[in-house]
Each structure stands twice: as C-alpha cells, then as structure tokens.
Amino acid sequence: MTQAAIQVRDLCFQWPTGASVLQFCSLDVPKGEFWMLLGTNGSGKSTLLRLLAGLLQPQSGEIKISGQVGFVFQNPDHQLVMPTVGADVAFGLVEEKLSLAQIQARVHEALTAVNLQLLQRRPIYALSGGQKQRIAIAGAIARQCEILLLDEPTALLDPDTQLDLVAQVRNLVKSRGLTALWVTHRFDELNYCDGAFLLEQGRVVDRGAPEHLKQRLMQ
C-alpha cells in the first residue's frame, strides 16, 4: 500500500450559521498520485480543500498532510498579486531567508517547470487565463510545495486550454513526485487522473478509477 500524502478521517465541519457541510468525511490520496474530487455545486468541495489547506478549522476529525501545501484557486486574478510574472513567483518566497541568487534560481526553475520561462518579465495583465493558472502553479513549485490543491482551476478556461492545464499538472505530478487533489465537474478531465472521489452530502460516497466514476455519473 502506497503511503498517503493526504489523510482525512471522519472530518466534520459546519459554518457558524449552523449549516453542516462535511459529515464524517474520509479520504486518502496516495503520495505521488493525481486525484480528483467530484460533487454537485454546494456539496462541500471548496470547503474541504480549505480545511486541507488549514484556511478553516474542523469541529472534529483528523487531517494529516505530509508536505508543504500549494493552493490554486478557480480565479487566478484573486491569487496573483504582483505586477509581473517573475515578481509574482518570487513574492511567495519572501518569508524564506534566501539570497537574491537563490530566489532567482527558484523562480527560473519554477517557470521552466510550467514552460513559461520566457515570460518572466511580462505584466500579469498581459497573460491568458491558462498562463495565469500556470503562474499560480509555478508559485507553489517555487515554494517547493509537494502537495497541490486545485479548486476548479479550469472553470474559467476554454476547452483546449483546459485540457492543456490538466495534462501539464499530471506531468508535474509524475515528473516531480508531487501529490495533487483537483476539484472538477468536467468529465473529460477525469481521463488524466489516477483516481477520483465523489462527495455527496458531506461525505465521500464513492472512489476509484476514472472509468468507474464516469460510469456511475453517466447513468
């Protein structure tokens, strides 16, 4: 059995308003694998990702994550904060005590990983939606994140760019030994994952290979 990079046990979460979102939710993502999280609108996918990232605290249950977490949001305009590509990727490194040369090396390596090394000086406003998502991913790679949490990162992309992004994340997971959990409701993205979870009414009701989930959902 492969070691789990993300382990969730009996997670329960409700908003202060009293609405219960997660009820004894459990899942494991094996290290080095690319898993997806499916579920209807409002089923708690974004809430679960925020709990995994430590942005929210559960009422009960357990989360074990082995490695630094990088988060990629649906809308990159909420994530990219600096005026240029290079500055944005470097911005995530401010809390690490690195020399200028070390920062430059990390930024270059991360941009190369997402094939955007030629865009280092480009203003963020001059990027396409898909390029912006790759910059957000480069930011996580520069911080040496081993775990990527991606919340519907293709929701604002056109279909070609959408599949380019999912293929690139799969390549990064496999070439760098990362672990990724990707929220989607687009069936064509399922072909790229190692497995997927189906979230319903606050718990994981099914999990397995992409074909298994597709069969279940297309019935």
Chain residues binding ligand ADP by CB under 6 A are 15, 17, 19, 21, 39, 41-47
Q: Does 46 bind Mg ion (CB under 5 A)?
A: yes
Residue 202 interaction partner, one of Mg ion, ligand ADP, none, beta carbon < 5-8 Å per kind: none
Q: How far is the CB of 46 from ligand ADP (least distance, A)?
A: 3
Residue 6 interaction partner, one of Mg ion, ligand ADP, none, beta carbon < 5-8 Å per kind: none
Q: How far is the CB of 42 from ligand ADP (least distance, A)?
A: 4
Q: Does 154 bind Mg ion (CB under 5 A)?
A: no
Q: How far is the CB of 202 from ligand ADP (least distance, A)?
A: 9
Q: Does 84 bind Mg ion (CB under 5 A)?
A: no
From CA 56, how far away is CA 197, in angstroms rounded?
Answer: 21
From CA 60, how far away is CA 171, in angstroms rounded?
Answer: 35
Query: What angle do the packed helices 159-176 and 129-142 form, to 10 degrees?
Result: 20
Q: Which window, 43-51, 52-60, 130-138, 202-210, contacts Mg ion (CB under 5 A)? A: 43-51
Which of these, 130, 54, 135, lies nearest to 91 by C-alpha position? 135
Residue 136's beta-bridge partner residues?
none
Residue 19 interaction partner, one of ligand ADP, Mg ion, none, beta carbon < 5-8 Å per kind: ligand ADP
Helices and strands in the chain, H and E counts: 6, 9
Q: Which CB sits closer to ligand ADP, 43 or 168? A: 43
Q: Which CB sits closer to ligand ADP, 17 or 175? A: 17
Q: Which CB sits closer to ligand ADP, 22 or 142? A: 22
Residues 6+ apart with CB under 8 A from 191: 210
User: Do residues 193 and 34 touch, judged by C-beta distance below 8 A?
Assistant: yes
Residues 6+ apart with CB under 8 A from 127: 85, 119, 135
Q: How far is the CB of 35 from ligand ADP (least distance, A)?
A: 16
User: Do residues 148 and 179 touch, judged by C-beta distance below 8 A?
Assistant: yes
Residue 219 interaction partner, one of Mg ion, ligand ADP, none, beta carbon < 5-8 Å per kind: none
Sign of CA dihedral 148, 151, 156, 161: positive
Q: Which residues bind Mg ion (CB under 5 A)?
A: 45-46
